[in-house]
Structure 1
Amino acid sequence: MRFRVGLHKLTILTIFFSAILSAIGIGMPILHAVEHNPIKLGVMGGDEEDVWKIAVDIASKQGLHIELVPFSDYSIINEALSAGDIDANAMQHKPYFDAQLAQHGYKLSIIGHTALFPIGVYSRKVKNLDELRDGAIIGIPDDPSNEGRALQIMAQAGLITLKTPNAILATPLDIKDNPKKLKFQEMNSGIVGRAIADFDAVIVNNTWITSSGINPDKELIALEKIENNPYDNIIVVRTEDVTKPWAKKLVAAYQNDSVRNKLQHIFGKTFATSW
């Protein structure tokens, strides 16, 4: 075949012409546009994944291909990122991230914020927390990202006290006083809301409300305050990738009116953004 070019020769030619184009000021944007594609982004399955699908479409128009990788377990997201299984994650708040870095020494960095999703207490048996009976059974998320928040709501309501009042990663073992002898049943964060009929109350992250079949207008009995709330969710990458062009595009794909409109459609007034 007279027109076949060996791989070695083709590589040399590519480098040669690239050098010429660079010398005369003409770049090769097409090659650079696909250099880091696709970007594997770890997200929590459910409503948050649906919001990110809007960002994926926006990013694709800017030459960035994002592959969403849904997770159901918060405890492995930073390990997966550190190991290189994904390129970024967007499914944790800063207090949890800080605790993870202190515990494991991951070389990860924050490149942007997504949204704050307040955690709430829901019930089909009582209208407010004061009505909870002695020995009431409360369903709470079992992941370290949200379990501490769930107990903090109960502590702020005066129903329990914690050994360390501001403990971010508190568990039922950290409860000091429990006058009503409330019982806390740990469950997967994506399942606990669906079991609302089996409990006196459940504490559910806002991102799981829709898929859990909960009606917040009728079943919400307490909600985490948005003001001065430290649990703003973040976008995280390996520290070595902070300055990569795709990192900036990833943040921009989320921080825009199209995504905010989707957030409004799903979460109504129970979310907030810092951008």
Structure 2
Amino acid sequence: MPRLSRRLRAILASGLRPLLLTAFVLAGFVTYSDAATPVQQPSPVRLGVMKGPETEVAEVVKTVAAGKGLTVELVTYTDYSQPNAALARGEIDANAFQHRPFLEAEMAAKGYDLVSIGYTMVQPMGIYSRTYKQLRDLPDGARIAIPEDLSNGGRALRLLAERAMIGLAPGAKLTPTPKDVMINTRKFQFVPLPADQVAGAIDLVDAAAINGNYARAAGLDPRRDTIAVENRRSNPYGNILVVRRADQDRLEIHTLLEAFQSPEVAAFLNTHFEGAFLPAW
């Protein structure tokens, strides 16, 4: 311990000694407290995704998140009914596989308390035809194949309505059915099929409304082969990052969203999927 100077010993011997000792103690306390305060590390996040291309995208997200100090553990599924159930049970922290209409239908049917915190990517639905090069070239009475499920069939009808080919009932919202087609001056005939079979029927109809993933699997390019295609931004069918309501303000969750909406992920989507998957933000 260093020796005190003669001047400091004299000061300590005076009436200032209690004040100086208090200052020394406080200074030591502040220094100790600053040094001892731990830096809180983000908790790892378990992210649920579907096997296939979405897992490829999630691997890029995982790498970007690691650069931000966040560890992401991927949990993959093969059944669309699984990720929301797992999230509601607390088995994962977030999932990224669905669009808002699907989420709302799941919550209404199963009582999940889940929320969306932002867009991830979109698989734009397109109208394809082997015979016609433009949507307006479709003949009166054209047969148009659409997915038979409520969500994707509704997308097809909304896309046609947005291009002024048909008119929908005002209350149809995001999930119209052929019964909601109120204006059909061209007398189009809608042929409902399982979503994964629409692409295979393209040679049997005048046009077909095909989801981006099925189009890519069938060798179709949404950038070149469509006669109409959905917008990627502000698309209600864009995939979303979903969490439990109680977790929506967690720092880790927002870091995960930043990783999804990063330039690295956008570049990967634009270069690897030929327009079948696009950034939705």
**TM-score normalised by the chain length of structure 1:** 0.71
Contact 1:123/1:196, CA 8 A, preserved across alignment = yes
Aligned to 1:127: 133
The alpha carbon displacement at 1:152 in A equals 0.8
Output the CA distance in 2 between the equivalents of 1:191 and 1:64: 38
Contact 1:172/1:184, CA 8 A, preserved across alignment = no
Output the CA distance in 1 between the equivalents of 2:197 and 2:93: 27
Deviations along 1:200-219, one digit per CA (max 9) or x if unpaired, are 22212334432231133542
Aligned to 2:57: 51
- The equivalences for 1:1-275 within 5 A come to 25=36, 27=38, 37=44, 39-43=46-50, 45-60=51-66, 62-71=69-78, 73=80, 77-84=83-90, 86-98=92-104, 100-101=106-107, 105-164=111-170, 166-178=172-184, 179-188=186-195, 190-226=196-232, 229-267=235-273, 271-274=278-281
Aligned to 1:13: none
Tell me which moved more, 154-163 or 252-261: 154-163
The alpha carbon displacement at 1:115 in A equals 3.0
Structure 1: runs of 5 or more not aligned: 1-21
Deviations along 1:41-87, one digit per CA (max 9) or x if unpaired, are 134x54433222211233355351321424454x6654443244543
SS at match of 2:220: coil
Which one-letter code corresponds to 1:92 in the other structure?
Q
Contact 1:126/1:132, CA 8 A, preserved across alignment = yes
Contact 1:120/1:223, CA 8 A, preserved across alignment = yes
The alpha carbon displacement at 1:259 in A equals 0.6
Output the CA distance in 1 between the equivalents of 2:228 and 2:200: 18
Tell me which moved more, 118-127 or 222-231: 222-231
Contact 2:47/2:92, CA 8 A, preserved across alignment = yes
Q: Describe the shift of the 1:65–1:174 C-alpha distance in structure 2 as closer, same or farther (beyond 3 A).
A: same
Structure 2: runs of 5 or more not aligned: 1-32
Contact 1:59/1:66, CA 8 A, preserved across alignment = no
Alignment identity in percent?
Answer: 33
SS at match of 1:253: helix
Which one-letter code corresponds to 1:182 in the other structure?
Q
Output the CA distance in 2 between the equivalents of 1:48 and 1:234: 12
Structure ID, larger Rg: 2
Which one-letter code corresponds to 2:134 in the other structure?
N
The alpha carbon displacement at 1:239 in A equals 1.0
Contact 1:46/1:207, CA 8 A, preserved across alignment = no
Contact 1:47/1:211, CA 8 A, preserved across alignment = no
SS at match of 1:216: coil
Output the CA distance in 1 between the equivalents of 2:202 and 2:79: 19
Output the CA distance in 2 between the equivalents of 1:173 and 1:82: 34
SS at match of 1:164: coil
Output the CA distance in 2 between the equivalents of 1:156 and 1:195: 24
Tell me which moved more, 96-105 or 166-175: 96-105
Two-structure CA RMSD over aligned residues (Å)? 3.5
Contact 2:65/2:255, CA 8 A, preserved across alignment = yes
Q: Describe the shift of the 1:48–1:209 C-alpha distance in structure 2 as closer, same or farther (beyond 3 A).
A: farther
Which one-letter code corresponds to 1:161 in the other structure?
G
Q: Describe the shift of the 1:269–1:183 C-alpha distance in structure 2 as closer, same or farther (beyond 3 A).
A: closer
SS at match of 2:159: helix
SS at match of 1:127: coil
The alpha carbon displacement at 1:142 in A equals 3.7
Output the CA distance in 1 between the equivalents of 2:92 and 2:179: 33
Which one-letter code corresponds to 1:201 in the other structure?
A
The alpha carbon displacement at 1:167 in A equals 1.8
The alpha carbon displacement at 1:121 in A equals 0.7
